[in-house]
C-alpha cells in the first residue's frame, strides 16, 4: 500500500483543522455543527481521507464559508509565494477531485483576488448537493461553458446549457446535477457579501 499523500489533501486537512481551531471548537463540536461524524473529521484532519464534495459542503456550512472559499484557502496555501497579479499556468494549478463523484475543481483566481472563480467539471450522471449555509454571506453566479447542468436551488430547478448563467438568490440548499451523457464544465464566480 502506498504512503504517498496528495499535497492538496494535506492542505485541505490543514485548512479544516485551522478553521476548527480558530473557532476554539473540539472535533465533537464541529461534528455536531456540521453533521459529519467525529471519526470522519479526524481522518480528514490527519490527511487519511479525502473528503467528498458533500462532506466539504457540510464542513463549510458549519464554518460559515462556501466550499469554494474553504478550497480556495487550502489551494491558496500553495500559491502564497506567487505575486498578486502574476500569471498562473494551468499545469501549476492544483485540481481537487471528489473521490465519490469524480467532480473536479480548479481554482482560477488566486487567494488575494477579491472575487473567487473556480472551474468545475461534473461527470455524466454525477450530482453534488450542498446545504443552504454553504451559500451564506456570498453572491454567486454559475456560468455553464460546456454540456448541460441541472441546477436545483431550493424548490427551483434550472436547466442550463452552454453560455447560460444563473445568479443565486437567498441561501438555499443547492444541487448541481449532470443528467446528460457527457461531461458538464462550468464556472462558479463568488463575491463575499458579508463577513461571518
Q: Please name each of the domains of the chain with its CATH number.
A: 7-76 (1.10.260.40), 94-192 (2.60.120.10)
Can you give the pLDDT at residue 81? 41
pLDDT at 85: 60
Q: How many CA atoms lie within 13 A of 123 on its CB side?
A: 9
pLDDT, position 126: 96
Q: Quick check: 59 and 30 in contact, CB under 8 A?
A: yes
Cell numbers for 82: 506567487
Q: What is the spatial distance between Cα 136 and Cα 123, in angstroms, rounded to a whole number?
A: 26
% of the chain beyond a pLDDT of 90? 44
What is the edge-to-edge ordering of all strands in the sheet holding 115-122? 95-97, 104-107, 115-122, 184-192, 138-146, 165-167
Q: Are strands 138-146 and 174-177 parallel, antiparallel or unpaired?
A: unpaired
Residues of the chain with pLDDT under 70: 1-6, 68, 72-85, 92, 194-196
pLDDT at 48: 87
Give pLDDT, residue 76: 55
Which helix (H) or strand (E) element contains residue 140?
Answer: strand 138-146
Amino acid 79: pLDDT: 43
Rounded Cα distance, 29 and 23, in Å? 10
Amino acid at each position: 500500500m502506498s504512503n504517498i499523500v496528495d499535497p492538496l489533501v494535506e492542505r485541505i486537512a490543514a485548512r479544516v483543522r485551522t478553521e476548527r481551531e480558530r473557532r476554539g471548537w473540539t472535533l465533537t463540536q464541529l461534528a455536531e455543527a456540521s453533521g459529519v461524524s467525529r471519526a470522519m473529521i479526524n481522518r480528514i484532519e490527519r490527511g487519511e481521507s479525502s473528503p467528498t464534495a458533500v462532506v466539504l459542503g457540510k464542513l463549510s456550512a458549519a464554518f460559515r464559508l462556501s466550499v469554494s472559499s474553504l478550497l480556495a484557502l487550502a489551494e491558496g496555501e500553495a500559491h502564497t509565494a506567487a505575486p498578486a497579479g502574476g500569471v498562473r499556468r494551468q499545469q501549476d494549478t492544483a485540481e481537487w477531485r471528489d473521490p465519490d463523484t469524480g467532480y473536479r475543481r480548479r481554482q482560477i483566481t488566486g487567494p488575494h483576488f477579491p472575487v473567487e472563480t473556480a472551474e468545475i467539471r461534473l461527470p455524466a450522471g454525477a450530482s453534488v448537493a450542498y446545504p443552504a449555509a454553504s451559500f451564506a454571506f456570498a453572491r454567486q453566479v454559475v456560468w455553464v461553458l460546456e454540456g448541460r447542468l441541472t441546477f436545483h436551488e431550493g424548490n427551483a430547478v434550472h436547466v442550463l446549457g452552454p453560455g447560460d448563467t444563473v445568479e443565486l438568490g437567498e441561501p438555499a440548499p443547492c444541487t448541481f446535477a449532470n443528467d446528460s451523457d457527457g461531461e458538464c464544465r462550468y464556472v462558479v464566480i463568488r463575491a463575499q457579501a458579508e463577513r461571518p
